[in-house]
Amino acid sequence: MADEMILTRPDDWHLHLRDGAMLAVTVPCSARSFGRAIIMPNLNPPITTVQQALAYRARILRHVPAQSAFEPLMTLYLTEATSGREIERAGAASAIAAVKLYPANATTHSEAGVSDWRRCDEALACMQEQGLPLLIHGEAITPGIDIFDREAVFLERELEPLIQRFPQLKVVLEHVTTAAAVEFVRQAPPRLAATITAHHLLLNRNDLLLGGLRPHHYCLPILKRERDRQALLAAASSGSPKYFLGTDSAPHARSSKESACGCAGIYTAPAALELYAEAFEQAGSLNRLEGFASHFGADFYALPRNTTAVRLRRESWSLPASYRYGRGAIVPLRAASPLQWRLIT
């Protein structure tokens, strides 16, 4: 088995950087590995206009290390009030790459999200015309649906009708977590793709609940069964261009995670590529990592592939127990425990 790999520099097609003091930690951590990243707009208040997205981008760029060419690709947060004109402005702004749909109250800072999709028809039609991809948090939020079934129900009730009503719209089903979602994406036309996180490739719901409650393994969509994890591993390492890397790295203050009502989100960015390498090695498909991490996302977004490279070496090393920012700390996945691969910078 190879002990060193050189890959085209990867991109992260789903990333939460947050704002303010956290940016001093999150931006350099992602810039270390990734050439570009799709930046999620679920700030509080959300990024709903092009003007807000460009101002947020400028705040991010201040924290990009001098020797890095890290490029944040901005997104707008779709609400029922998003106008066709705002989407046209987004389509014309090269710094804006996509629009994000959160079902209302599905996850962190999704209160301003969408309850009734038909109220978004004008915006969606405009996105279809502009070729702006719609990024979807795919969970049904009707009260009473079991949290472990939310993704599967969403596919049938919401996603299937949507892709039929907008036959040219490019859609990314974000952070797929189930065998059902893998199958849905496989059967869908090529204009529908999916991102897969490192944590959903490496962990199942036992890692959340067995032997004690692990708040740092709590995220949405929630971790699923082992057979779902196996289906995700098979999809990610299949060589199909419909699946590509999106960490959904989602930092929260340690105090908000280790709490009686803990926040959803796992901070994977500091060792993201290394975690994916572990997962692909588990699947016996390290040779398929580059397509998933560095080619298929750029191809889907019709952007050029990166021209620089990164080197991964088999090496045991550890992340710190936490990262300090302002007055808080963020605990990364695998804090202070050994990783098997290391990105050499």
Q: 3-state class of 37 per DSSP?
A: strand
Report if residue 128 touches ligand NCD, rule: CB under 6 A. no
Distance of closest approach, residue 147 Cβ to ligand NCD, in angstroms: 12
Choice from 108, 128, 237, 247 touching ligand NCD (CB under 6 A): 108
Residues 200-259 binding Zn ion (CB under 5 A) are 248
- Residues in the interface with ligand NCD (CB under 6 A) total 11
Distance of closest approach, residue 108 Cβ to ligand NCD, in angstroms: 3
Choice from 163, 185, 220, 272 touching ligand NCD (CB under 6 A): 220
Distance of closest approach, residue 8 Cβ to ligand NCD, in angstroms: 26
Report if residue 107 touches ligand NCD, rule: CB under 6 A. yes
Told to judge if 12 belongs to the known catalytic residues of this protein, a careful annotator would answer no
Q: Which residue has the tokens 């990009």?
A: 64
Distance of closest approach, residue 290 Cβ to ligand NCD, in angstroms: 25
Strand 328-330 to 323-325 pairing: antiparallel
Q: How far is it, in rounded angstroms, from Cα 297 to Cα 311?
A: 20
DSSP characters for 251-317? Answer: ---HHHHSSTTPPP-BB-GGGHHHHHHHHHHHTT-GGGHHIIIIIHHHHHTT-PPPSSEEEEEEEEE
Per-residue contact flags (x/-) with ligand NCD for residues 137 to 176, judged by CB under 6 A:
x---------------------------------------
Distance of closest approach, residue 63 Cβ to ligand NCD, in angstroms: 18
Report if residue 219 touches ligand NCD, rule: CB under 6 A. yes
Work out what residue 219 binds among Zn ion, ligand NCD, none; the CB cut-off runs from 5 to 8 Å by kind: ligand NCD
Cβ-based nearer residue to ligand NCD, 201 or 312: 201
Per-residue contact flags (x/-) with ligand NCD for residues 261 to 290, judged by CB under 6 A:
---xx-------------------------
Q: How far is it, in rounded angstroms, from Cα 129 to Cα 65?
A: 36
Q: How many C-beta neighbours within 10 Å does residue 84 have?
A: 16
Q: What share of the chain is helix, strand, coil (3-state, %, to 5)?
A: 40, 20, 40
Cβ-based nearer residue to ligand NCD, 213 or 309: 213
Find all residues with CB under 8 Å of 12, minimum gap 6, and list them: 30, 33, 34, 36, 37, 38, 245, 246, 247, 249, 269, 272
Report if residue 42 touches ligand NCD, rule: CB under 6 A. yes
Report residue 250: phi and psi, to 5°. -140, 85
CA atoms within 13 A on the CB side of 262: 20
Q: How far is it, in rounded angstroms, from Cα 257 to Cα 181?
A: 28
Distance of closest approach, residue 18 Cβ to ligand NCD, in angstroms: 8
Q: How far is it, in rounded angstroms, from Cα 40 to Cα 246?
A: 11
Strand 243-245 to 323-325 pairing: unpaired
Report if residue 100 touches ligand NCD, rule: CB under 6 A. no
Report if residue 11 touches ligand NCD, rule: CB under 6 A. no
Q: What is the dihedral of CA 203, 208, 211, 215, to 10 degrees?
A: 130
Cβ-based nearer residue to ligand NCD, 159 or 310: 159
Q: Catalytic pick from 11, 12, 228, 248? A: 248
Report if residue 139 touches Zn ion, rule: CB under 5 A. no
Work out what residue 265 binds among Zn ion, ligand NCD, none; the CB cut-off runs from 5 to 8 Å by kind: ligand NCD
Interface positions with ligand NCD (CB under 6 A): 16, 42, 107-108, 137, 219-220, 248, 250, 264-265
Active-site residues, by number, are 248
